[in-house]
Amino acid sequence: MSDSSEIRTSDSDDEFIMDMLYHLPRPRLFRGRSNPLEEFDDFDFKCRFRLSKESFGVLMHLIVQDVKHETKRNVALSPEVQVLITLRYYVTGTFQLLVIISELINLLYVELLKEFQLLLLVFTLSL
């Protein structure tokens, strides 16, 4: 009889452990993002963003401090990617293509919109 009660207790303990393991939070996965500055040659870069890589470098030098995120809590977008997203919007005039770009750089669409709104404000204030 004692064997039966030990088996039930053991089963109960196993179920408890399995339940605890099932409810553990999953580790966050951060996918790498591609870098359009490295991905595109000069011609393709200019076709997509209407700026040469050299002009883009000058623009970044002027505004990098306004768009840089100082955080250790998350994986913030680099200032370069933020500006490229905004430039692509200005080129196309639509967010539909931005969704495609967000998939290319492994970025959530909501995060993309937040970054765009911030950059739009920065560009507006700098004019």
Average pLDDT, the chain: 74
Q: Do 46 and 59 form a contact (C-beta atoms < 8 A)?
A: no
Q: What is the pLDDT of residues 35-50, one digit of tens each?
A: 788 888 898 888 888 8
Q: Quick one: pLDDT band at residue 59, thresholds 50, 70, 90?
A: very high
Cβ–Cβ < 8 Å for 119, 127: no
Q: Model pTM greater than 0.85?
A: no
Residue 119 pLDDT greater than 90, yes or no: no
Q: What is the mean pLDDT of residues 19-32?
A: 72
Domain ranges of the chain: 36-126
For the CA atoms of 69, 72, 75, 80, the dihedral, rounded to the nearest 10 degrees, stands at: 30
